[in-house]
């Protein structure tokens, strides 16, 4: 691997092999998501505890200070919305030239394996990989999943492996039972999305089980920024990702920090 790409990978995934990515890209299909109505305030208070930020270019340019010291994985797919008919049909929304201009450490693209539009999205991923490799930029492939699809290890292992086969350097997928199988059959590091907001203990248990199963980390959004105390929650997740904390120990960190002034 060339120095530039390796350096970017090393900035995203820390020396212990783990990463806490903070997903704040939700607005690209959800609009002003709860917790991210005013992205700047939320992002700037959480960024010191994250290893990496995952925004869109709009939020990056308008809501993130340029002197921030954190690698950025830029969302480069979209084109559909939560109220449209074809949410599982994203295309490329950002040129690699603009991603380079934004000094990103990586780019993120969603594929929709098993949907009517899987071919378009997998070809889109391949195109992004071709462009990103020219500049040594790692691609994070996100395995989006339709409402009526089975969320099991068979599906996530299939979608994750397909993403890796098409050149993704990291795969972002969802946690499921027998997650070891997803990690073991994917040839690149795997991180999990958090999904919809869960009770805090459940979110911490999910992060713990994912790490135990071999995940490189989490790329979590709503379970952090929609928590009652987002800073306390990201500290708790961080303890699981980097300090081998159990869910109970992490929960105690959450509670101890929640007592402090928000
Ligand atoms: C999904 O494709 C986007 O990247 C989401 O913004 C991301 O997965 C959300 O993270 P979470 O599910 O933890 O809110």
Beta strands 91-92 and 77-78: pairing type?
Answer: antiparallel
State the CATH class of domain 3-231: alpha beta
Query: Is 172 a catalytic site residue?
Result: yes
Of 35-49, 83-97, 134-148, highest mean pLDDT: 35-49
3-class SS at 181?
A: helix
pLDDT in tens, 124-173: 999 999 999 999 999 999 999 877 778 899 999 999 999 999 999 999 99
Residue 261 confidence (pLDDT) above 70? no
CA 131 – ligand 1 centroid, Å: 23
Catalytic member of 38, 41, 97, 172: 172
Q: What pTM was computed for the model?
A: 0.96
Least confident range from 77-81, 143-147, 197-201: namely: 143-147
Q: Where are the chain's structural domains? A: 3-231
Ligand 1 pocket member 222 (CB < 6 A): yes
Atom of ligand 1 nearest to the CA of 108: 4
């Amino acid at each position: 691997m060339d120095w530039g790409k390796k350096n970017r990978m090393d900035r995203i995934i820390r020396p212990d092999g783990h990463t806490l990515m903070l997903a704040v890209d939700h607005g690209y299909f959800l609009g002003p998501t709860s917790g991210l109505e005013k992205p700047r305030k939320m992002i700037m208070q959480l960024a010191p505890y994250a290893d990496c930020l995952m925004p869109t270019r709009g939020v990056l340019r308008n809501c993130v200070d340029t002197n921030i010291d954190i690698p950025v994985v830029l969302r480069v797919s979209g084109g559909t919305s939560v109220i449209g008919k074809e949410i599982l049909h994203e295309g490329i929304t950002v040129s690699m030239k603009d991603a380079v201009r934004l000094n990103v450490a990586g780019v993120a693209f969603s594929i929709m394996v098993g949907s009517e539009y899987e071919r378009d999205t997998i070809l889109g991923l391949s195109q992004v990989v071709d462009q990103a490799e020219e500049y040594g930029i790692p691609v994070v492939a996100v395995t989006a999943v339709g409402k009526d699809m089975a969320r099991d290890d068979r599906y996530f292992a299939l979608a994750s492996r397909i993403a890796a086969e098409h050149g993704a350097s990291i795969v972002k997928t969802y946690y499921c039972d027998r997650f070891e199988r997803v990690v073991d059959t994917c040839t690149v590091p795997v991180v999990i999305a958090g999904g919809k907001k869960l009770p805090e203990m459940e979110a911490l248990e999910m992060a713990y089980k994912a790490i135990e199963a071999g995940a490189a980390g989490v790329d979590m959004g709503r379970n952090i920024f929609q928590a009652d105390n987002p800073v306390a929650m990201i500290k708790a997740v961080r303890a699981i990702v980097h300090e081998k904390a159990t869910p109970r120990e992490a929960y105690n960190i959450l509670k101890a920090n929640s007592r402090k002034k928000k």
